[in-house]
Structure 1
Amino acid sequence: MTATRFGLAAVPLMLLAACAIPRIEPEGLEGIDDGLLPEPNARLAIESLGPCSDVPDRQFSINTGEPVTVLVHGCYGSAGRLRSLSQVYAFHGQQSVCFSYDDRDSLEVSSRQLMTALEALGEAMDDDVAVNVLAHSQGGLVARRAVIEDRPDGLTLSRVPNDLVTVATPFAGIPAASACGSRLTHVLSLGITVGICRYISGDKWWEITAASDFIQQPGAPLPELERHLKVVTDERDTCRVKDDRGRCISRDGVFGVAEQYHPPVDRFPVVSNVQVEAGHVEIVGDARRPPVKLIEILQVEGLLAPTPPDRQAAFEALLARLYGP
């Protein structure tokens, strides 16, 4: 009975550990400088892909002869959560679109939807044009699953992304969800914990635990994938919100470093890790702070164009407008 009570008490922690704190989108972003985006030559309607906003019309315009980055949100996310980051890409003349999915679905289902979207996008793009993927938090689990060999469903991509960037992703599973990964706890609770876990996290409830095959057997990346850049966030001592006296009233720590490193993922030569001290939401930007650390990493790694010196002041003004209080 003690184990049962422990399991029932521990399960609700999953909701905090498995998902990033929702980001509040700033308002009034219409008309912001789109930078040097190439002139679009096509308007596409691809299921699960669309502009990085929450507008009902999910069609998007694109230049099929220029590189594009697909942005993938995390738990509690949406395309609109990544609107400001998309504007950062636009300022530097780079196209981006957003993948939308139900974060309560099975990760296998969501990754299959991403594969379908990437296939359709790849067919529309010119053959020699780079298609990259940048995914945050749980979105990184979805994105990596979309680019592996020997998937359980047997599916594969014919047009593999050039670069995969995952940011603050718990590849080793979530320790706080251990009660949901314990078959003993499920037995002792007469199956009650299974229902609670599914109620809290949806159909992905088992996949995000360290005991799942999804975590223990993540699969090998497709050989055509050129690079998997992992941005590992050290979220200790981070703060998302402070009160008027400077005291932290809401932490920005969701995943530990140990949850983001995982030998079955890291052992492949295509993988490189960049560790940075940053909060879980801070790394992709929130309503108070721009994602300066992520921008720097992307520029150093050649995934985001350098900011021209003569446009630095304009870029800082854009960041202030996008991410300012």
Structure 2
Amino acid sequence: MSAKLAKQSLVAAVLAASSLFALGTAPASAASFPLCAARVVQHFDLDKGQTPESIVFSPNGTAYVAFAKARQIAEISPGGAIRILATLPAPADGGVNTPGLGFPLTVGIDRASDGTLYFLYATGTADLTGVWRLRPGGTPQRIAALPATSLPNGLALDQRTRSLYVADSSGAVWRMSTKDGAATVWSADKELAPAGFLGANGIKLRDGAAWVTNLDRGTIVRIPLHANGKAGSAQVTATGLTGIDDFAFTGKGNEIIAALNTTNQVALVKPDGTHHVVLTAADGLQGPTTIALRGRTVYVPSAAYLTAKDPNLLRAHLAR
């Protein structure tokens, strides 16, 4: 057996013994390097609207998920038990005016070090659309209103400044303080604009910049965050990523793992912008929405928006 195969066999054995989301029964499949031991570890209930749009982990391995169509925020224990923490109020008109989609949905989620959850709700109505907060043991509250015409999608929290950055799929990034909730357009660069459906989508903060995906254009753009807090000009860093949703950095420079929702793939994007597919439908993907990393373990939620079957959570190992 080669050293590479031996390493992958060891990784598979370690992951099989892990208790984190251990309810899945699907066999591990052959993901493309550098991912290995891909396995669906959690299945969600489509009939209940359990379409995972975004996920964030606490240090103890508990996951917090935005179930988009259910309008819910859920907690998933390391053993796989699901507990609904909040169900947001339905808009009076049913959400038919939610831009581009026609239904209300909970989307991007992030977590502060004190356990407070911040998440987005898009309804097409002025009374509910915006950024919401859920403190441990509390009830959800909207802390920042966004226009009814906006589609808040991706969310990133700057823990140092307590600022929130929201990728709005209508073509902007908003910035607001967690203290007063006053929201301002931080960037409306042309690279964020949609080209028929949805523009700015996922967002992460890294190396003095906001990194934002554009679903319609299949791009990742980097927007410098200047010392005065203002945004610089967006620079396209990767192209050809059809249907890109959200993403995560691997920790190796600016290398990225990205969820390609509409093509049912996950891609590894190198710092020079080149990419290759590392997961496909053969691995269990059902319309992947985002990526989360815990150490070298990669988690990929699938919302099954287009496939309409088996929304799930896939786990793989990042081999280096």
TM-score normalized with structure 2 length? 0.30
TM-score normalized with structure 1 length? 0.30
Higher-RCO chain (CA-CA 8 Å, sequence separation at least 6) = 1
Select the structure that is richer in strand: 2
Max Rg structure: 1
